[in-house]
Amino acid sequence: MAPAMTDGMQTELRTLLRSCVQCGLCLPHCATWLATGDDVQSPRGRLILLDEILGGRADAAEPSFLAAFDQCIGCRACESACPSGVPYSLLEYGQDLAFAAAGSPAGWSSGPALPAPLIRRLSSVRFLRTAAAAATLASGLLRGLLGPGWRTRLARAPGGLGRLPRLLGSLPRSPSADEGVVRLLNGLIAAAAGAAAGRVEDPSPSATVGPESRVASPDILFFRGCANEGLMPGTSRRLLDLLRRCGCRVDVPQGQACCGALAAHTGDGRGREDRHRRNREAFGPGPAPADGGPWILVEASGCGHELKSVPGELAGEVLDATEILTRLSLPPLRPVPLKVAFHDPCHLRHGQGIVAEPRRLLRGIPGLELVEPAEPEVCCGSGGAWGLRYPDLSGILARRKAENLAATGADLVVTTNPGCLGQIAGALADVAPGLPVLPLTDLLWFAARKG
């Protein structure tokens, strides 16, 4: 709910709003502006609308106000791009105002494709596993019925049916068996070596990825995200294996819950606080001890952003997996002579300001060539629950992202957030079939594995 406005708050908001000089430099970084070309769906347009509302020249209950703010993905690319330092919190405030005026929780009246209670179920590990099994079954049936070109044929169907291929292909997944990762990457390496026809060097294994200050054997508390636990348990298991081989003492606290991000996305403040409380009980309540306490490792960028959004809540330092891995002495890494593109999840790049760490890890793998796609800062259109609520806009953005990634000529795409992984895999299946997406930590595990 939008807070009741005191005079002081009004003045503060006005000052912040005035810091937007309407230069428009944020527009090319805003996913919804890129997808629609509509100025109202840009950071600048939204701020102008907010100024109108606060100045009493427009009514917050106007459906167009709600539509503009509800369709903001919350990617924060505008905040990173803005030279005047206009904070994203202004857009959050506009969203609160719009939802409060609409009289419905979190703007569900403005065109969701799926009902909120169903989206909230996405934090249930059992529900996710059932959904994944159902999606696999449905894809198999459709392939059997319509043949190998089922995706293209179905995509031409009108309405919701046309969205089905992307929806079925967008559930985050990674190989559950270690052998699946090994087979996939060995196949890519063999194909790349064949394509390069002997031009591939065979670099020696590296000693370690080179962090400035390495930590020998830290204590790590492992945070399980719902999507990782429900849909990508093999990736979590391989990351645990890698951490133990780096000499870490790793514990997976019992009783931990969803980070609370999904509840937040659906306007369920009480549900979010409940998840935070359960995690305080599981990890110990904050603030962290003076020495920083144990590292709380978060695999999914979206969860990390949510857990870091309440500083000092847990009795340890919440860190993304890539932040921790760059601080460790990794085992010797075998060569992986592949072109690899990294996709920056917004929750990592804009939400947590983590850009260098994943790239440093990838550059530390001998023989690997890191290639950068165009528009690395633009959202892939997953946006947690957002992509389910605005599937058409989400589809446009997924395709744009997949085309940019494919244009790098990469053999492999890696990323660190399950939602982005599923979204990009679903779009690549149409744009560049044969270009796989893996969690970054699976690639690192492969490079570091024994035997």
Chain residues binding ligand SF4 by CB under 6 A are 20-26, 29-32, 43-44, 46, 72-78, 82, 84, 86, 88, 91
Say if residue 165 is preceded by a cis peptide, omega within 30 of 0. no
Which C-beta is closer to ligand SF4: that of 99 or that of 223? 99
Round to the nearest angstrom and report the end-to-end CA distance of the chain: 56
Residue owning tokens 């804009």 = 350
Contact (CB, 8 A) for 411 and 428: no
- For residue 320, what are the β-bridge partners? 298
Contact (CB, 8 A) for 143 and 158: no
- For residue 319, what are the β-bridge partners? 297
What is the nearest approach in angstroms of ligand SF4 to the Cβ of residue 419? 15
Which C-beta is closer to ligand SF4: that of 83 or that of 198? 83
What is the nearest approach in angstroms of ligand SF4 to the Cβ of residue 85? 8
Which C-beta is closer to ligand SF4: that of 32 or that of 256? 32
What is the nearest approach in angstroms of ligand SF4 to the Cβ of residue 80? 9
What is the SS3 assignment for 133-177?
Answer: HHHHHHHHHHHHHHCCCHHHHHHCCCHHHHHHHHHHHCCCCCCCC
What is the nearest approach in angstroms of ligand SF4 to the Cβ of residue 88? 6
What is the nearest approach in angstroms of ligand SF4 to the Cβ of residue 47? 6
Q: What Cα–Cα distance (Å) separates residue 213 from each residue in 163, 298, 332?
A: 48, 21, 17
Tell me the C-alpha distance between 123 and 385, whole Å. 11
What is the nearest approach in angstroms of ligand SF4 to the Cβ of residue 81? 6
Which C-beta is closer to ligand SF4: that of 209 or that of 397? 397
Which C-beta is closer to ligand SF4: that of 276 or that of 350? 350
Which C-beta is closer to ligand SF4: that of 373 or that of 383? 383
Which C-beta is closer to ligand SF4: that of 275 or that of 305? 305
* Alpha helix positions (H), 249-338: 261-265, 269-283, 301-308, 321-327
Which C-beta is closer to ligand SF4: that of 50 or that of 227? 50
Quick one: residue 190, left, alpha or beta (phi over 0 = left, psi -120 to 50 = alpha)? alpha
What is the nearest approach in angstroms of ligand SF4 to the Cβ of residue 394? 12
* Alpha helix positions (H), 58-107: 63-70, 77-81, 89-102
Which C-beta is closer to ligand SF4: that of 23 or that of 133? 23
Structure tokens at 84: 């005047």
What is the nearest approach in angstroms of ligand SF4 to the Cβ of residue 185? 33
Tell me the C-alpha distance between 241 and 137, whole Å. 31
Q: What's the burial of 235, exposed, middle or buried (CB within 10 Å: 0-12/13-18/19+)?
A: buried
What is the nearest approach in angstroms of ligand SF4 to the Cβ of residue 21? 5
